[in-house]
Amino acid sequence: MPHIRNHIRTLILRNIGATAIMRAAPRVIDESCRQQALVPAGLHITSPPVGPTEVREALFAEISGALVDLHLDPLHLNWILAATELDEQQRQRASSALSELRLEPLADMRPIGPDAPDSTWFTITGPDVLIDILIQPMAVLSSFIALMLDTWQKAVDLGIQTFWSSRLPDEAQSAIELFILRVWGLPIGLPSGVSHSQSLGETASLSHLNLDHVDDVSDLSWEKNPRATVNETAFLVVPPRVQAGLVDPFYGQVYSHDFLSENDSIYRARKLTDGTFGHLSVPFRTVPRYFADSADTLITLLEENSQSAVSNSLGDGVPLYRGQNREHTLQRSRATRLKLFGDAHAIEPSLLPSGTRRSTPAAAATAFNSLIESAVEISPEKPHSYDHETWSTFRGDNLKTSFAQHYGLATPSLDLTEDFLVACWFATTRLQLATPGILRASPVDDEDICVIYVLRPDMDAGAPIDVQMSPYGRPARQRGWVTTNTWGWRSNDAARHLEAAVYFEGRLRHELKPVLPQSDQLFVPQGSDVLMDLALSIGNRLPDSPITDALLRDLYRVVE
């Protein structure tokens, strides 16, 4: 069974807030406070008493191991402390002292001390100053674990045999949930119907396909986020005879070798749905394409397909949109498209998140999360709904990913909007790098072909973000949403939820101009975006820091 200590450590470290670090620094610098700051203290971790004892004991062992090995990154500490009044020498002393702090090994799960509440299932002990820093991230971790335990306990109580299928934003959270299910003995994947491995057969005959090989379709690498059903088509599911198989790295579909050898067009749709401009191909469906030759036609098509998106959805919600000044398609071989769709010329839309193309260093991502908390704290647009309680919950952890995506960092999420006029602005605007951290907005050329995707609301998308924090925040201005579960072997999963694609020439921007938002309505103007201003201020103080380099490479402003 895989260890999850690295994933637990990731979840903890990315939720260490700037406020806690800034409070801790004077305590380890000032000699009169230092001794008291290093006095051992305890932090009680509580959660509802659900889930079997063996699950909680296994989690305790993994969390204990993660905490004992945990250390604070001095780069992150120094970068955040640059926002304070501390001089360079004080910052270095504080970051060095804090990064050297360690927790005591934990021996058992018994509540320690008379003040431990009844719901405590373990207690952390360590230096008082480090315990203070860990209060918030441990609250996030315990709220996430409590949610997982409660969700699966309800399924067990109701006698529902629900197989795992990730709906979570990233690998770290999913790995923790998978660990819980494995220890609990709850089902992860559907049974394949094969009791033992058989010959790989003609595996080489399929090696030319752009698919990932797996040795056993009944024992998949679930941390890579495959789909649970093996040999799924639009019409039926066929048990495999040979366990070795292949996985589509964009959609997570799993197929045994014998099934792929004997069948073609495995993604063929139940019904061919064409628009006036043909169709896009996604697993088991076609997505109609339309071409608009006027602004009125464009808006009419968006409105009509928005209604269809809602009526064809499996759940409630609002239709979502993504505007692009050009269409991107998945780069697969003709042979792969022929095997999957029966059409070597099938057009597969690429809705891959930025995290599939590049990465943001962990220290820089953690620093950005701290920036969010600092920006909210000093934001003049109060009151807002984001406070210390928000950042101490599982929801707060996901909100930080949402902010990161909308501000330019590489994440496993895709940014969307619930306002098709916002999507129109992005579709008709070219954003080009002018200087580091500055993108210049310019209109597309008249002959450019722009596209707006309409997505069904039943997709795995997070709730609208930032809409209550401030009417001036960037995601709020853009009516922003983000996807979840678009990582690992399901990186292009958003495309499965497309309702339609609407294309138009760039010249329509002239007709659309009266109704389109302006750049400064979608992006907070320079000097008014607290988060960006704070990042630039710290970056100016630490121009040689790797975090400055990484953050200011990805964070961006938009100017005209």
Distance from C-alpha of 505 to C-alpha of 9, rounded to nearest angstrom: 48
**Would you state the pLDDT for residue 459?**
65
Question: Residue 513: CB partners within 8 Å, gap ≥ 6?
Answer: none
pLDDT of residue 196: 45
245-247 and 212-214 strand pairing: antiparallel
φ, ψ of residue 237 in degrees (nearest 5):
-125, 125
Q: Which letter does DSSP use for residue 223 in this model?
A: G
- 240 and 165 in a common domain: no
- Cα 508–Cα 510–Cα 514 angle in degrees, nearest 5: 115
Could you tell me if residue 487 is inside a domain?
yes
Do 408 and 508 share a domain, yes or no? yes
pLDDT digit string (tens) for 239-286? 888 889 999 999 999 999 999 999 999 999 988 899 999 999 999 999
Residue showing tokens 């320690």: 112
Does the pLDDT of residue 365 top 50, yes or no?
A: yes
Q: Which DSSP letter does residue 495 get?
A: G
Same structural domain, 334 and 387: yes
Q: What is the mean pLDDT of residues 58-81?
A: 91
pLDDT at position 423 is 97
User: Do 252 and 351 fall within a single domain?
Assistant: no
CB 68 within 8 A of CB 106: yes
274 within some domain: no
Q: Which of 312, 295, 347, 356 is nearest to 510 (CA)?
A: 295
- 125 and 169 share one domain: yes
> What is residue 464's predicted lDDT score, i.e. its pLDDT?
42
Residue 461 banded pLDDT, cuts 50, 70, 90? very low
pLDDT at 316 over 50: yes
Same-domain status, 177 and 228: no
pLDDT, tens digit, 9 for 90 and up, residues 424-457: 999 999 998 887 778 889 999 999 999 999 999 8
**412 in the same domain as 327:** yes
**What mean pLDDT is predicted for residues 467-494?**
80
What tokens were used for 3? 């260890």
| Helix (H) / strand (E) containing 92 | helix 88-99
CA–CA separation, 93 vs 278, rounded Å?
A: 64
Percent of the chain with pLDDT over 70: 90
Phi-psi region of 190 (alpha: psi -120 to 50; beta: other; left: phi over 0): beta
Model confidence at 317, pLDDT cuts 50, 70, 90, reads: confident
Stated as kind and residue range, the H or E segment containing 214 is strand 212-214
Whether omega for the bond prior to residue 383 falls within 30 degrees of 0, making it cis, is yes
Q: Which residue carries 């559907």 as its tokens?
A: 190
For 226, the domain range is 203-262
In a domain, 192, yes or no: no
The reply to whether 207 and 141 lie within a common domain is: no
Higher pLDDT residue, 161 or 185? Answer: 185
Q: Do 144 and 252 reside in the same domain of the chain?
A: no
Higher pLDDT, 203 or 57: 57
Contacts of 3 (CB under 8 A, 6+ apart): 62, 65
Domain boundary at 214, 230, 262, which? 262
pLDDT at 112: 54
Rg (CA), the chain: 25
> Same domain for 105 and 225?
no
* Sign for the pseudo-dihedral over CA of 277, 278, 281, 282: positive
pLDDT at 195: 46
Amino acid at 488: G
- Is 196 part of any domain? no
Q: Is residue 195 part of a domain?
A: no
Q: Which residues, in sequence order, are bridge partners of residue 325?
A: none
Q: What is the DSSP string of 342-367?
A: S-TT---B----GGGT----HHHHHH
Tell me the two tokens of residue 77: 């500490």
Q: Which pLDDT does position 349 carry in this prediction?
A: 98
| Pairwise CA distance, residues 36 & 194, whole Å | 62
Which of the listed residues 149, 184, 219 is the one where a domain comes to its end?
A: 184
pTM assigned to the model: 0.91
Q: Does residue 197 or residue 478 have the better pLDDT?
A: 478
Single out the residue of 144, 152, 150, 160 nearest to residue 184, CA to CA.
152
150 and 101 share one domain: yes
Q: Is residue 270 part of a domain?
A: no
In a domain, 189, yes or no: no
Q: Tell whether 303 and 244 lie within a shared domain.
A: no
Beta bridge partners of 275: 278
Contact assessment for residue 344 and residue 334, using Cβ atoms and an 8 Å cutoff: yes
206-244 CB burial, b ≥16 within 10 A, e <16? beebbbeebebbbebebbbbbbbbbbbbeeeebebebbb
Question: Is 194 part of a structural domain of the chain?
Answer: no
Residue 283: per-residue pLDDT? 97
Number of domains composing the chain: 3
- Nearest CA-CA partner of 465 in 370, 401, 419: 401
Q: How far apart are CA 543 and CA 541, in angstroms?
A: 6
pLDDT tens profile 16-46? 989 999 999 999 998 888 889 999 888 888 7
